[in-house]
């Protein structure tokens, strides 16, 4: 699955370059030392597919949406829109449960999180709502890489679609609606 998603990401980057967009930024691939530090600080074990994402891409910023990861390969710089920074912020400011790890944010109201208490079972993902201070499980058995793949598929369709064919909802809202 990861190889297919990586190929789709390359297609997305190429489509964006062709259309003159420069709204995609890649993070810095994380070292095993950085990953171990993140897991130690967050007191969790990250699932294998997310570890592969960190090791290969680090993170992805697409417009104002982020797949949180690492933007530097030092723990000192792992604040802000990183997996460590966003997770700690959501825990401290909004009381997000400690078994959740924020991995995607778009509207800064709802965050897609890894549910590390169910790492070897399902559901692996959950949504954390800031305004409701509530956790909603992903009803579908979906992993992080499955979500990333669906998100990239939707972006590829959007990059190719004419502006009049685009839906007014944010991409995050569209994907969340499909997963509920």
**Using CA atoms, how far apart are residues 102 and 82, in angstroms rounded to an integer?**
9
Tell me what pLDDT residue 112 has: 92
Comparison of pLDDT for 137 and 68, the residue scoring more: 68
Structure tokens that stand for 85 in this block:
């920074």
Q: Where are the domains of the chain?
A: 2-179
Q: Is 72 exposed, middle or buried (0-12, 13-18, 19+ CB in 10 A)?
A: middle
pLDDT at 164: 42
pLDDT band at residue 167 using 50, 70 and 90 as cut-offs: very low
- What is the pLDDT averaged over residues 62-81? 77
Question: What band does 166 get if pLDDT is binned at 50, 70 and 90?
Answer: very low
More confident residue, 14 or 171: 14
Please compute the mean of the pLDDT values over residues 2-29 and round it to a whole number.
Answer: 77
pLDDT at res. 119: 60
Question: Model confidence at 141, in pLDDT bands (50, 70, 90)?
Answer: low
Please compute the mean of the pLDDT values over residues 155-164 and round it to a whole number.
Answer: 57
Ramachandran angles phi, psi of 23, nearest 5°:
-95, 20
Strands (E), the chain: 24-26, 60-62, 65-67, 100-105, 110-115, 125-129, 134-137
pLDDT score of 134 more than 60? yes
Average pLDDT, the chain: 79
**Superfamily name with CATH number, domain 2-179:** SMI1/KNR4-like (3.40.1580.10)
Supply the pLDDT for residue 16.
74
pLDDT confidence band for 21 (50 / 70 / 90): low
The pLDDT value recorded for residue 109 is: 86
């Amino acid at each position: 699955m990861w190889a297919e998603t990586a190929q789709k990401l390359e297609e997305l980057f190429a489509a964006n370059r062709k259309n003159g967009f420069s709204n995609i930024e890649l993070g810095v691939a994380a070292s095993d030392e950085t990953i171990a530090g993140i897991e130690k600080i967050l007191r969790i074990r990250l699932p294998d597919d997310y570890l592969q994402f960190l090791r290969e891409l680090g993170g992805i910023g697409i417009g104002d949406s982020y797949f949180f990861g690492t933007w530097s390969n030092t723990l000192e710089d792992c604040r802000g829109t990183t997996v460590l920074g966003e997770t700690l912020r959501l825990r401290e400011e909004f009381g997000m449960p400690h078994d959740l790890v924020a991995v995607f944010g778009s509207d800064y109201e709802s965050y897609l999180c890894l549910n590390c208490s169910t790492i070897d079972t399902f559901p692996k993902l959950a949504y954390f709502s800031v305004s409701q201070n509530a956790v909603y499980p992903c009803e579908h058995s979906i992993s992080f890489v499955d979500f990333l793949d669906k998100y990239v598929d939707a972006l590829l369709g959007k990059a190719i679609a004419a502006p009049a064919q685009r839906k007014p909802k944010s991409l995050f809202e569209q994907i969340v609606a499909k997963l509920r």
